[in-house]
Structure 1
Amino acid sequence: MLALVFVNVAINYLDRANLSVAATQLGKDLDLSTKELGYIFSAFGWAYAALQIPGGIIADRFGPRILYAFCLITWSLATIAQSAVNGFLSLFSLRLLTGTFEAPSYPINNRVVTSWFPDNERASATAMYVSGQFIGLAFLLPALTAIQAYSGWKVLFIVTGLVGLVWGIIWYLFYRDPLDHPQVNKAELDHIEKGGGLFHGKKSGVDNPSLWRWKNFKLILSNRTLWGVYIGQFSLNATLWFFLTWFPTYLVKYRGIDLKQSGYLGSIPFLAACAGLLLSGFISDRLVKQGTSVSIARKTPIIAGLLLSIVIIGANYTNDVTLIIFFMSLAFFGVGMALISWVFVSILSPKHLIGLTGGVFNLMGNLASIVVPITIGHLITGTDFKPAIVFIGIVEFIGACAYIFLVGKAERISTGDDQSENALIFEQK
């Protein structure tokens, strides 16, 4: 099940990053200015961020099997349609559509991991599926740049879209929730449940519409620890969205690196991020199993990663390609370390509000997908990209401060509905 989610995430980010590979030539063909390109890069984020809360609610009310298949197929169709764009408006609209259909994806991912894994394995599981975005791009970026170089951006959108269409069918055929999987026995279900895993779907009663009330939104939006996590996630996504949007353009246009060479060099930071993520996840889970408090075990690698990512500013002080890639890779390694932050949704969320909390968390984080591409587009002056890199470093520092000063004890937020919710689940079992 985790392997299926891993591939979902890889395809998810493939269809976010294809535009960044196509951007240099596409911008010339469609006569787009730097500022217009910034808005195009941000278009995905407008819809994606706005629909995170609805996406979280949908993830709690419908099963991952059908919902994820629907999302994969529809966003892939929108990706294929981007091969036929003829200007700013049509491309902006289709990127909005792609963001719309991808919106429930991470709340679904979190729901799957919360269902299938006990607490002391969840950081590792989260690290494994989130690593799909880095491993997928690291190994596919050279292929994407080759397609772009030899066949053009239209073929690039068609190929990446077709991959998602096929995988949507595969997901539907093979994914099942724990209670529905024919190969899961009672011993495994007991192991997951005793370790804090939460079974979802109609059998557990969490899709009861009465649970979706304003006081639940107020609870999720008024907790200080959650706000620290929200701000931290925005900071992480700031660097992530730099790499998903402007990074190839930065290498080719502002550092003079050949397009095909940029595909290979550009894959190195993604591999570094993946290494940081996996290392952080396994170390964090090991600390928990050894008796370290959950707060320390989960927060320490996140804070260390955010502080490390500030070294991205070092790229401003060298013209050596090796050093540029080194600073970029080290910074992205730090971001990877901190990306186990999704585990805080499982730790902090009230049991019946996993999807809603995940939706708000992803909404706050993905505001960066709107702010960062546009801000960078405005900060670039002529051939000077340095102000944009400084901007990224400052945002990472703010994220580290949020975890240090706002994120308190890592424990589940209790609500007045917990007893009634548990009674409902017990009765339905």
Structure 2
Amino acid sequence: MTDAHARPTHVRYGVIALIFLITTINYADRATFSIAGSSASAELGLSTVQTGFILSAFAWAYVLAQVPGGALLDRFGTKRIYAGAIALWSLFTAMQGFVGLVPVFSAVAMLFALRFMVGLAEAPSFPGNARLVAAWFPGAERGTASAIFNSAQYFSLVAFAPLMGWLVHSFGWRSVFWVMGALGLLATLVFLRFIHSPARHPGINAAELAHIEAGGGLVNMEDGGSAAKTPTFTWNNIRQLLANRMLIGIYLGQYCINVLTYFFVTWFPIYLVKERGLNILEAGIAAAAPAMCGFIGGLAGGYASDFILKKTGSLDWARKGPLVVGMVLATMIIACVWVEAEWLVVVLMSVAFFGKGVASLGWAVMADVAPKQLAGLSGGVFNMFGNIAGIVTPIAVGYIVAGTGSFDLALVFVGVHCVITIFAYLVIAGPIRRVELKA
């Protein structure tokens, strides 16, 4: 390394770029069945309710595995656990392309089981992202860094929805799973090659390391020591995380925000096909516009949050201000109920997802408030509550559509959760402060 007074390197920017890439593939793999679902359902004879349960299968496992996944990250480090997760979820994604080709097994059972396994394998991904951001970025840059990896959920559909729609149109629905699985296995190798802790990264110099550490970056988080050898999953630790009023408000807010997320990555392309009459190729292209707006909103929200923090020094203003503005915009999804023109539906969805992107600061908040000893476990608990929405939303929308013959009430269901998000952060959570563990 060079002297601490030399010009600092910018290795952390490469790290966040790689996290963004991995998370883009992560979310694309979650959305594979939403793109391939119409064709797969027709070929396999799936009902609307069965489709809803299959779409929810990912989240059942994802929720159940969050706390164990976070504890594994704290115990064994991000690199090994995260790399293994990428490889496994990619394998299970590819295997979905063989459903229906083995007549011994029910297509519904196989799809549910494989999507369940994808959810199980993906569980450490976002807590792992949060750990890497906490280690690699000073506090004043975490809003932007967290927004970058979180915005990958939108960019994934910008990048992959048209591709997946074209694959279904040109080669059949099975090709989607095989192509995405292969990309994930390739991403595993890239991750193993380039991800290291700040203190051990071969490309960082002393000046950048000092900058990160001076700003509150946990540069030695991944390097073992006594903290890593002490199990973080204890009932006392869990009790403290679940009994904190601020954290309860943050958990509820993340759940409500994710209702919008899961509608988009599960039912939205199907809504465009069944309710708005688009073909699957058109739906894949149309889904890219709201996704791009969500991506831009996510970057804008992170930048605005860090800008406000630098100007005011107030975490409350910096994190809650963009969140409230974003959730107000996100309620525009309800207006689609009264709109006939397909282009206007896409515009309103784009505004809603721009707002949702602006408001998606939950992981930056967790980097601000999580106890230093429990970064992985805290992220796991937070993500567990947030992703209960992935169980509820696909099933609820499936029953609403089956019972009413329309998506109208489903859109209202999603929009109401935007209002609850504002209440959770402003009324329940209170001031944003780092949690200190009690002995």
> Scaled by the length of structure 1, what TM-score is found?
0.95
8 Å contact from structure 2 (residues 157, 287) kept in 1: no
Q: Secondary structure at the match of 1:406?
A: helix
Hey, what's the Cα distance between the residues in 2 that align with 1:285 and 1:169? 33
Find 1:356's aligned residue among 371, 374, 377: 377
Q: Secondary structure at the match of 1:207?
A: helix
Which residue in the other structure is 2:6 paired with? none
Q: Tell me which moved more, 205-214 or 258-267.
A: 205-214
- AA matched with 1:9: T
8 Å contact from structure 2 (residues 256, 420) kept in 1: yes
Does residue 198 (structure 1) correspond to residue 218 (structure 2)? The answer is yes
Which residue in the other structure is 2:24 paired with? 10
Find 2:94's aligned residue among 80, 84, 92: 80
Cα deviation for residue 179 of structure 1 reads: 1.4
Cα deviation for residue 397 of structure 1 reads: 1.2
Which residue in the other structure is 1:324 paired with? 345
Q: Once the two structures are aligned, what percentage of the paired residues are identical?
A: 39
- AA matched with 1:50: L
Aligned residues between the structures = 417
What pairs with 1:115-264 in structure 2 (closer than 5 Å)?
115-199=135-219, 200-264=221-285
Which residue in the other structure is 1:403 paired with? 425
8 Å contact from structure 1 (residues 41, 245) kept in 2: yes
8 Å contact from structure 1 (residues 254, 383) kept in 2: no
Hey, what's the Cα distance between the residues in 2 that align with 1:291 and 1:93? 49
What pairs with 1:278-427 in structure 2 (closer than 5 Å)?
278-380=299-401, 381=403, 383-417=405-439
Deviations 1:315-357 (A, max 9, x none): 0001111111111111111111111211111111111011111
Deviations 1:378-398 (A, max 9, x none): 001364111111110112211
Does residue 56 (structure 1) correspond to residue 77 (structure 2)? The answer is no
Hey, what's the Cα distance between the residues in 2 that align with 1:408 and 1:296? 12
Cα deviation for residue 214 of structure 1 reads: 1.6
Hey, what's the Cα distance between the residues in 1 that align with 2:273 and 2:264? 13
Cα deviation for residue 204 of structure 1 reads: 4.8
Hey, what's the Cα distance between the residues in 2 that align with 1:372 and 1:28? 22
- AA matched with 1:229: I
Find 1:41's aligned residue among 55, 69, 74: 55
Cα deviation for residue 276 of structure 1 reads: 0.9
Find 1:67's aligned residue among 78, 81, 92: 81
Q: Tell me which moved more, 358-367 or 128-137.
A: 128-137
Deviations 1:144-174 (A, max 9, x none): 1000111111111100100001110111111
Hey, what's the Cα distance between the residues in 1 that align with 2:413 and 2:237? 35
8 Å contact from structure 1 (residues 302, 341) kept in 2: no
8 Å contact from structure 2 (residues 71, 231) kept in 1: no
Hey, what's the Cα distance between the residues in 1 that align with 2:77 and 2:269? 37
Does residue 113 (structure 1) correspond to residue 133 (structure 2)? The answer is yes
- AA matched with 1:289: K
Cα deviation for residue 133 of structure 1 reads: 2.0
Hey, what's the Cα distance between the residues in 1 that align with 2:177 and 2:231? 42
Hey, what's the Cα distance between the residues in 1 that align with 2:231 and 2:83? 27
Q: Tell me which moved more, 182-191 or 141-150.
A: 182-191
Hey, what's the Cα distance between the residues in 2 that align with 1:145 and 1:374? 24
Hey, what's the Cα distance between the residues in 2 that align with 1:206 and 1:261? 52
Q: Secondary structure at the match of 1:192?
A: helix
Hey, what's the Cα distance between the residues in 2 that align with 1:117 and 1:156? 35
Cα deviation for residue 212 of structure 1 reads: 3.5
Cα deviation for residue 139 of structure 1 reads: 2.3
Which residue in the other structure is 1:23 paired with? 37
Unaligned runs of 5+ in 2: 1-14, 101-106
RMSD: 1.2
Deviations 1:30-81 (A, max 9, x none): 1111001000000000000111111111111122222222111111110111
8 Å contact from structure 1 (residues 135, 271) kept in 2: yes
Cα deviation for residue 203 of structure 1 reads: 3.6
Cα deviation for residue 292 of structure 1 reads: 3.8
Hey, what's the Cα distance between the residues in 1 that align with 2:22 and 2:170? 27
Unaligned runs of 5+ in 1: 418-429
- AA matched with 1:160: M
Hey, what's the Cα distance between the residues in 2 that align with 1:382 and 1:155? 33
Q: Tell me which moved more, 32-41 or 303-312.
A: 303-312
Which residue in the other structure is 1:427 paired with? none
Q: Taking structure 1 as reference, are residues 90 and 211 closer, same or farther at Cα in structure 2, changes over 3 Å only?
A: closer
Which residue in the other structure is 1:94 paired with? 114
Hey, what's the Cα distance between the residues in 2 that align with 1:78 and 1:66? 19
Q: Secondary structure at the match of 2:222?
A: coil
Q: Tell me which moved more, 19-28 or 285-294.
A: 285-294
- AA matched with 2:274: K
Hey, what's the Cα distance between the residues in 1 that align with 2:435 and 2:298? 26
